Chain A
Amino acid sequence: MKHASFRAAATTALLLAVLGALIFFLLPKYWVFLVTAVFIVGIALQSLGLVTGRTGMISLCQMSFAGVGAWVTGYLNLIGAPGGLAVWMLIGGLAAVPVGIAIGLPALRLRGINLAIVTLGFAAAFDTVLATITFPGQTTFTQVVRPEAFDSDKGYFLFVLLTYGVIAVVLEFVSRSRLGAAWLAVRHSERAAAANGISIPRAKLSAFAISAFISGISGGLLAGYLGTLVSENFSMMQSLALFAVATMAGAHFALGAIAGGMMIVLFPELLRRLNLPQDVGNVFFALGAVQALSTGETIAETWMRLARKLRPTRAVEAATAAGSLPDKTSHPAGIALEVRDLTVRYGTVTALDKVNLKVPAGTVVGLVGPNGAGKSTLVDAIAGFLYRYDGSILLNGSPLEAISATSRSKLGIRRTWQTTRIAPELRVGEYIRLAAGPISESELESLLAWFGCPGPETLISTVDVGTRRLLDVAGAVASRAPVILLDEPAAGVSYDEALKLGERIAAIPETFGSAVLLIEHDMDLVRRACSAITVFDFGRVIAAGAPAAVLDMPVVQKAYMGVEFEEAAE
């Protein structure tokens, strides 16, 4: 894994170096000047890609963050602060961070649309403020001084390229880290991310903070590039255009950020040479963004897909066990999970009515019952996704009330969902690390092999849904939590695969040490996997005990089929 990060970062650095050398030595001065802007815009696009493309929060005020960075840079230039542009733009970036966090704070509770409205409002407000206070030195035409070593236009290109390279390489590392995986997970499903122990506020705020920082730096670079700035450089229209281009090009990919930068800078140049009006570019960006949104695929993703097609196709590699699995984790003996008199009401409907349930350590307990019996509500309550319930839930004897879903997950209650919620952009290994936290390379490999999953470098988007269901379970198991809740892990899996999965689940306690609560409709799977089952109907426990005996009880058959089969049981 670390290997892969280094390799990706090195590839990025090398590609940029070659590209930079070609531009520096082959292109005429005018073009080098233009291409410099490509990279500055590319940095702004990367910042937007991080918060919108990667974390899924629509930001329509990215150029306002850049404006903060540029303003601070201009001010430091005006007062002749020590350190020169490199230091000023870093301070400018840092100055944008609190602004980013302040805008991100409402995002803790809001998603998508509301956040889009907040950021658009901020962009409009920032326009007003900037038009009033003007840039430092704007009225006196004071030029922002470039670093001495990079003063010429060609030199400044190198400075920008260097900055771009550092940011791209760092982002490469971050995006492959657990934090980067957490951003993707938050974008895909906040609940699933919380169920893996990710703090949603931290993930969102860090995305906004880092994004604002990078955007602020791009503003500082722009100040050095243009010398003097006007508020129009950072207007709401610029932010909107940046959003359209990021959406079209896929700015959360290094490739997409550069492609987008080229479009923003070079497209108007092309139009100018064709004697066409330059603002036609924005129309093109808008249509491109709509196209990308309707197909769900950005330009960067299209290119990468085509590139993959060109390469000889490799079959999905199954994981091979590097060594044997480590010993099972020892958890306290006794009752791992206990539910006492749990009652949940939605308005006037009682979803769960004084439910009692025990899952002893080292066992698999099944939970069955017809549709709407309250099984998923129970899992939500145990995992901390309901704000209010009566009764108590105990993990190894200690109550969990008033503990958030994220904290419960960290304490040792892991759950899966009825439909798989793994972010498809992740790799298998990244997902398992996201779910499990620190885990050794050999343990990861042998865990995947034990479940018959593909290797850690496989992209989730390339594996079928049945395998993703398996990865859901593997992720929960990898965390070594004392209690694992599996919500219909075999939904959508063929009959044979379901039986195989049943055997795997049955072996979880002795292999990994976790106790399992299994919700499942396939009775053959339940019979195979569980040592005891509890049957729900209308939110109440109607039977509990050994699987074969319970499934033959008339009351259970009545719940399932609406009729009693006394004669059939004989």
Chain B
Amino acid sequence: MTTFSIGALQVDRSGIPVIRGVDLEARGGEISVLLGSNGAGKTTFLESLSGIIPVRSGFINLDGVELAKLRPGARAKAGLSHVEQGRTVFPAMTTEENLKVALHPDADLKEAYDLFPELLQRRNVEAGMLSGGEQQMVVIARSIVNRPRVILIDEMSSGLAPVIVSRLMRAVRQLADDGMAVVLVEQFAALALAIGNRAYVLRRGQIVYDGDCAALAGDPAHLHRLYLGDAAA
């Protein structure tokens, strides 16, 4: 069973401390939901995990392998995949080329089309011409055929219609059920909490909530305070 654990992580962004000592654990078969308002540091957190930006201190451990000092490519080879925010397709390549370029030797394009059959009829369309929802599917599928053990997904729902978002959420749940460890970063709490196992809330670079998704979903007043602040504060 995959275990992805992060401890005492500190990350600076152009000199500003953005992540101030975060601990988090994600297990295979589970979705760990990371919530937080804008500017809380969610994206910086994921980027430091995949190696886009360096960490200042702390550890990033995937099944006993320490990743914090590795280059992004080496982290990918170690089994970590990062679906960046903003639907980072290769815009001038077709859907199929987008998938092919990431194809792991043991993987098959069929896996991608099984997860998102919608993409099959768009396989020869340039990814830049796809709709936002389709692009999001391409990016997630591209991650899958890379055969990761941990997948980090950043703000996949932003700017998408609710019906597409729930379609994507179902696919993410399926990935976890297939054994992958998922770290799902979201600004929109409700849908994520509905499919997630464990929830974390990040505020100004620190974890201010760590517990069951169901428990947080059942206590909206608490979530409200964590998100929109408190008049009494």
Identify the A interface with B (CB < 8 A).
370-372, 419, 464-466, 488, 491-492, 494-495, 498, 521-524, 526-527, 538, 548, 551, 556-557, 560-563, 565, 567-568
Contacts and interface: CB of A to CB of B under 8 A. Distances in A.
A568 B223 CA distance: 10
B157 interface: yes
Nearest to B225: A568
B187 A568 contact: no
Chain B interface size, as a band, is 20 to 34
A370 B40 CA distance: 12
Contact of B187 (A491, A523, A560): A560
A45 B38 CA distance: 47
A464 B15 contact: yes
A527 B38 CA distance: 16
Interface of B: 13-18, 37-40, 155, 157-159, 186-191, 204, 220-221, 223-224, 227-231, 233
28 contacts: A370-B187, A371-B38, A371-B155, A372-B158, A492-B13, A494-B204, A521-B39, A522-B39, A522-B229, A523-B227, A523-B228, A523-B229, A524-B229, A538-B159, A548-B231, A551-B229, A560-B37, A560-B187, A561-B190, A562-B186, A562-B188, A562-B191, A563-B188, A563-B190, A563-B220, A565-B220, A565-B224, A568-B220
A560 B228 contact: yes
Contacts of B158: 370-372
Contacts of A495: 204
Contacts of A556: 228
B224 to A, nearest CB: 5
**Those 9 A-B pairs whose CB atoms lie nearest each other, nearest first:** A562-B188, A563-B190, A492-B16, A523-B229, A524-B229, A521-B39, A521-B38, A561-B189, A568-B220
B228 A562 contact: no
A1 B224 CA distance: 50
B221 A568 contact: yes
B187 A562 contact: yes
Contact of A563 (B189, B204, B230): B189
Contacts of B190: 561-563
Contacts of B38: 370-371, 521
B16 A465 contact: yes
A557 B224 contact: yes
Nearest to B157: A562
Given A370-B158, A372-B158, A560-B37, A492 B17 contact: yes
A468 to B, nearest CB: 9
Given A492-B16, A522-B39, A561 B230 contact: no
Contacts of A371: 38, 155, 158, 187
Given A464-B15, A562-B187, 18 more contacts: A370-B187, A371-B158, A372-B159, A491-B16, A492-B13, A521-B37, A521-B39, A522-B39, A522-B204, A522-B229, A526-B229, A538-B159, A560-B37, A560-B228, A561-B223, A563-B188, A565-B224, A568-B221
B14 A419 contact: yes
Given A488-B39, A521-B38, A465 B15 contact: yes
Nearest to B39: A521
Contacts of A527: 229, 231
A523 B159 CA distance: 22
A561 to B, nearest CB: 4
A488 B188 CA distance: 21
A370 B231 CA distance: 20
B189 A562 contact: yes
B160 to A, nearest CB: 11
Given A465-B14, A527-B231, A563-B188, A568 B224 contact: yes
Contacts of B15: 464-465
A466 to B, nearest CB: 8
B227 A560 contact: yes
Contacts of B191: 562-563
Nearest to A559: B188
Contacts of A523: 37, 227-229
A491 B228 contact: no
A561 B39 contact: no
Given A465-B14, A562-B157, A551 B220 contact: no
A180 B220 CA distance: 55
A561 B227 CA distance: 8
B220 A567 contact: yes
A373 to B, nearest CB: 9
B39 A524 contact: no
A526 B233 CA distance: 12
A567 B218 CA distance: 11
Nearest to B233: A524
A425 B168 CA distance: 48
Nearest to A488: B39
Contacts of B189: 561-563
Contacts of A551: 228-229
Nearest to A494: B204
Given A370-B187, A372-B158, A562-B157, A492 B18 contact: yes
Please indicate which of the listed interface residues B155, B157, B229 has the most CB atoms of chain A within 10 Å of its own CB.
Answer: B229
B168 to A, nearest CB: 13
